[in-house]
Chain A
Amino acid sequence: EDQVTQSPEALRLQEGESSSLNCSYTVSGLRGLFWYRQDPGKGPEFLFTLYSAGEEKEKERLKATLTKKESFLHITAPKPEDSATYLCAVQAGHSGYALNFGKGTSLLVTP
């Protein structure tokens, strides 16, 4: 059975304090690993897709990396507007089109 585990559940950072969020997964036949950001009362907003171990993607203060067992979302010098819940999801070859989501990491960045 596919499993996606995100840690920590919640993270509080000072503005400018860099950190990383973790997404560990077990899946047979990974087709893609997706990162989303979700603000309160909104739907998930797509950030990155990673397809193979060693791949990295960057966007502003965010950088996502992928190994065979986990993905990291690195946040460099975060700002209060980076506060949100960050969701990780995997898509496996055997499940067709479904995304299997982790429970998310709630990030709060204080001034």
Chain B
Amino acid sequence: DAGITQSPRHKVTETGTPVTLRCHQTENHRYMYWYRQDPGHGLRLIHYSYGVKDTDKGEVSDGYSVSRSKTEDFLLTLESATSSQTSVYFCAISSVDSNQPQHFGDGTRLSIL
């Protein structure tokens, strides 16, 4: 299994609070991604990173920011959480060539009340 750890695995918080999710990898892969998965939708890309301090927006980036200060860590922040951001969040990594398969963590289930 790819060495990907997401934390926390579960979180319940209130509308308007800031939330940070962490993805940690031990594979030294260059590319890291954040997706969200909701019923009735496929996995949708939020943000991705192609190196330390190099990030770009995905399909559903509004309301989210990311940071990558080290190769192994990719943080996803909801500055002011809303109920529409209740979802399961997955981190993925892939190696040097961007069309290598992405390998996924086991997700963070986030509920915003």
The residues of A with any CB-CB pair to B shorter than 8 Å are: 4, 31-32, 34, 36, 41-46, 49, 87, 89, 91, 96-104
Interface size class on chain B is 20 to 34
- The answer, among B31, B98, B106, for a CB contact under 8 Å with A42, is B106
The A contact surface, by secondary structure, is strand
**Bound-complex Cα distance A41 to B109 (A):** 9
- Which of chain A's residues have a CB closer than 8 A to the CB of B59? 98
Q: Could you show 27 A-B contacts with beta carbons less than 8 Å apart? A: A31-B99, A32-B99, A34-B101, A34-B102, A41-B106, A42-B106, A43-B4, A43-B92, A43-B104, A43-B105, A43-B106, A44-B90, A44-B104, A45-B104, A49-B99, A89-B42, A89-B43, A91-B99, A97-B94, A98-B45, A98-B48, A98-B58, A99-B43, A101-B42, A103-B40, A103-B42, A104-B42
- Which of chain A's residues have a CB closer than 8 A to the CB of B106? 41-43
Mark interface residues in B9-41 (1 if CB within 8 Å of A CB, else 0).
000000000000000000000010100000011
B57 to chain A, nearest CB (A): 10
**Bound-complex Cα distance A91 to B98 (A):** 10
A107 to chain B, nearest CB (A): 16
- Which of chain A's residues have a CB closer than 8 A to the CB of B94? 97
- The answer, among A34, A43, A89, A91, for a CB contact under 8 Å with B107, is A43
**Bound-complex Cα distance A46 to B4 (A):** 14
**Bound-complex Cα distance A104 to B40 (A):** 9
- Which of chain B's residues have a CB closer than 8 A to the CB of A87? 42-43
**Bound-complex Cα distance A68 to B103 (A):** 25
Supplied contacts A43-B106, A44-B90, A96-B56, 16 more A-B pairs, CB within 8 Å: A34-B101, A34-B102, A36-B104, A42-B106, A43-B4, A43-B105, A44-B104, A49-B99, A49-B101, A89-B43, A91-B99, A97-B94, A98-B59, A99-B45, A100-B42, A103-B42
